[in-house]
Structure 1
Amino acid sequence: MLRTYGPGCDGSVIDAKVQSIPDAAAWIDLEEPSHEEEALVERCIKVDVPTPDEMAEIEPSSRLYEKDGALYMTVSVLRGVDEDHPTTTPIGFVLAENRLVTIRYATPKPIRTFENHAHRDPELVRDGPTAMIRLIDAIIDRLADEIERVSSTMEELSREIFQDSQQERRIPVRKLTALLSRIGRVQTLLTKIRYSAVTTLRMLSFLGGSSRIHAEKHQDMLHHVGSLTTDVTSLSEHASYLIDSLTFLLDATLGLISIEQNAAMKLFSWAAVVFLPPTLIAGIYGMNFHHFPELSWPWGYPMALTIMFASAVGPYFYFKRRGWI
């Protein structure tokens, strides 16, 4: 699907059978493009449209390069968070003169948000560089929103782990297992956020170092790139801090699970020690010998029960006094 935005272009779908793209189109958005749509863009804009395999490459030389006067950049954008399946999808940016071409095979939330803003304020897509800066800004804003949400989630996890452990004598293992699952989901989301932030930072560094935007006519764009670089650097550092904090919460949860397991083993050990003397006494008096003096005693049976009871109660109170149980 091919859409165009800019002065006089409202984001309508362009039929690949047409022979040209409107001259006023500042942002050409290719969503899961067909071969015909790719050929149309390549013919009219004089750029090469990266393939999905090329955009999926992780080495910077394949994601960030300049060719025939056009800048080719790929960013991994966060998506699927609202569906609880966070992942990243590569989006290709091709900046050629005053036109921006984006290539994508998914529709992350920042893209939808920016499209809506572009419909309401055409000034956002007056030219390619402006559209690209605003689109990157929307991507960074989305990352910031998700980091804020993760911070709140981690505060809840910390409260459940530490405050509940103080108020409750024991935290059920089922609850601790659920906490582990939540920590795992947050860890996955944080990893995707940081990866997206790193790829965005690399793109901005490449863009800021390009000779194209150091021209006098692009000084305003250079200022915006510097501001966005500062923002995404701070987000990346904060995401790293949250990952370290989450590791601490994971260790604390595993420690509580270990404590619960030790408590269960302690209970079995206590029961074995307490009931060992009565079992020994019962075993002695259960022996079947012909000459057994206590068999003829009227109070032999009550005496054996009393000794068994005392041998069980005695160790119990001794262990309790020592604080072992």
Structure 2
Amino acid sequence: MITIHAFKNGKWEARQVRGETDLALPEGAVWLDLASPGEDEKAFVARAIGADVPTREEMQEIEASSRLYQENGAVYMTATILSRLEPDHIDAAAITFILAGQRLVTLRYTEPRPFEVFAARLRKGIAGGETSPDLMLGLLEAIVDRLADIVEATGNGANDISHRIFRQGKGPGGLDLHQAITDIGIEGDHVTKLRESLASISRMVMFLGQAAGPHLPAQDFPERLRTLGRDTASLIDHVGFLSSKITFLLDASLGMINIQQNNIIKIFSVAAVVFLPPTLIASIYGMNFAHMPELAHEFGYPLALGLMVVSAVLPYVYFKSKKWL
């Protein structure tokens, strides 16, 4: 599907085109948003802007030369953008931006929320800007704002896990460390995808300011671009901090599991030592020799039982005094 955003009569209008590839672009068309397009739709846009549209396989390539380049007067930039599909699942997908003259083309196979939000703001007239570079920068700002929200949510998730590990673990109900490790893994996956997305956007902003400079307006665009670069850098630093924190929480959880296992092994070890002397006494008096004086004693049986109890209690008291139990 193609959504065509055109600036006409002082306002933005959006028109959706699905399968109709023989139409001419409306007057004032600036932003062509391709969402999971077919080959006919991609060919239609390529003819309209006079430049090739990359394939989905080309978008997945990770080397910088395949993601950031200029060709036939058009500037191609591909970044990894995040979409929150569920509260505990984030999807990372490549999105390509093409600056071709007065038109901006976005090619995507996902539904990131910043695109929907920015398009709504554009229709309401509060997004600002009328040119393709303005729209592209506005989109990037909306994407970075959304990434900042995801970074904040991930930080809150890490804080919640930390509270559960170090506070709730002391309560009567204890702590489900297996669930904690699962949650840590989810937050760690989020951090990895955030780092990948922010790194790709940072490279894209740098390329946009350097290689694509002649295509950009000279008004407030450079300052907005520098601000966006600083925001991206600060988010990358914060994501690095979150990565270290999640690694610490994982190590702490695994350490607590080891402590629990050691406590269980210690209990069995102490139990074996406590019951070893009574077992020895029972073994001695269980031998079938013909002449064992204690067996003929009137109080031999209760004395043997008492000796077994004492031999079990003394090690237990000793271990308690050493705080081994």
Cα distance in structure 2, aligned partners of 1:81 and 1:158: 25
Cα distance in structure 2, aligned partners of 1:288 and 1:303: 19
Cα distance in structure 1, aligned partners of 2:127 and 2:116: 17
Q: Is 1:102 equivalent to 2:106 in the alignment?
A: yes
- Give the % identical residues: 42
- 2:16 is matched with 13
- 1:176 is matched with 177
Which of 136, 143, 149 is the aligned partner of 2:140? 136
Unaligned runs of 5+ in 1: none
TM-score scaled by length of structure 1: 0.94
Cα distance in structure 1, aligned partners of 2:210 and 2:41: 31
- 2:296 is matched with 296
Cα distance in structure 1, aligned partners of 2:251 and 2:173: 18
Deviation at 1:210, TM superposition (A): 2.0
- More displaced 10-residue stretch of structure 1: 70-79 or 17-26: 17-26
Deviation at 1:17, TM superposition (A): 3.2
1:157-196 equivalences under 5 Å are 157-165=161-169, 167-168=170-171, 171-172=174-175, 175-196=176-197
Unaligned runs of 5+ in 2: none
Deviation at 1:169, TM superposition (A): 7.6
Structure 1 counterpart SS, 2:62: coil
Q: Which has the higher helix share?
A: 1
Q: Is 1:250 equivalent to 2:250 in the alignment?
A: yes
The structure-2 alpha-carbon separation of the partners of 1:241 and 1:82, relative to structure 1 and needing over 3 Å to count, comes to same
Please say if residues 129 and 135 of structure 2, whose CA atoms lie closer than 8 Å, have aligned partners that are also in contact: yes
Cα distance in structure 1, aligned partners of 2:129 and 2:27: 13
- 1:58 is matched with 62
Please say if residues 81 and 87 of structure 1, whose CA atoms lie closer than 8 Å, have aligned partners that are also in contact: yes
Please say if residues 118 and 127 of structure 2, whose CA atoms lie closer than 8 Å, have aligned partners that are also in contact: no
The structure-2 alpha-carbon separation of the partners of 1:71 and 1:320, relative to structure 1 and needing over 3 Å to count, comes to same
Q: Map Cα deviations across residues 204-246 of structure 1 (whole Å, 9 max, x no partner).
A: 010011253476x434222211110110111011101110111
Structure 1 counterpart SS, 2:86: coil
Cα distance in structure 1, aligned partners of 2:268 and 2:164: 28
1:37-116 equivalences under 5 Å are 37-116=41-120
Deviation at 1:276, TM superposition (A): 0.2
- 1:207 is matched with 208
Structure 1 counterpart SS, 2:88: coil
Please say if residues 69 and 96 of structure 1, whose CA atoms lie closer than 8 Å, have aligned partners that are also in contact: yes
Please say if residues 180 and 250 of structure 1, whose CA atoms lie closer than 8 Å, have aligned partners that are also in contact: yes
Please say if residues 5 and 14 of structure 2, whose CA atoms lie closer than 8 Å, have aligned partners that are also in contact: yes
Please say if residues 118 and 125 of structure 1, whose CA atoms lie closer than 8 Å, have aligned partners that are also in contact: no
Q: How many residues were matched structurally?
A: 321
- 1:283 is matched with 283
Deviation at 1:164, TM superposition (A): 2.9
Cα distance in structure 2, aligned partners of 1:122 and 1:168: 51
Please say if residues 213 and 219 of structure 1, whose CA atoms lie closer than 8 Å, have aligned partners that are also in contact: no
Which amino acid counterpart does residue 126 of structure 1 have in structure 2? E
Q: Map Cα deviations across residues 97-124 of structure 1 (whole Å, 9 max, x no partner).
A: 2210000111111112112212222764
Cα distance in structure 2, aligned partners of 1:239 and 1:177: 24
Cα distance in structure 2, aligned partners of 1:179 and 1:59: 36
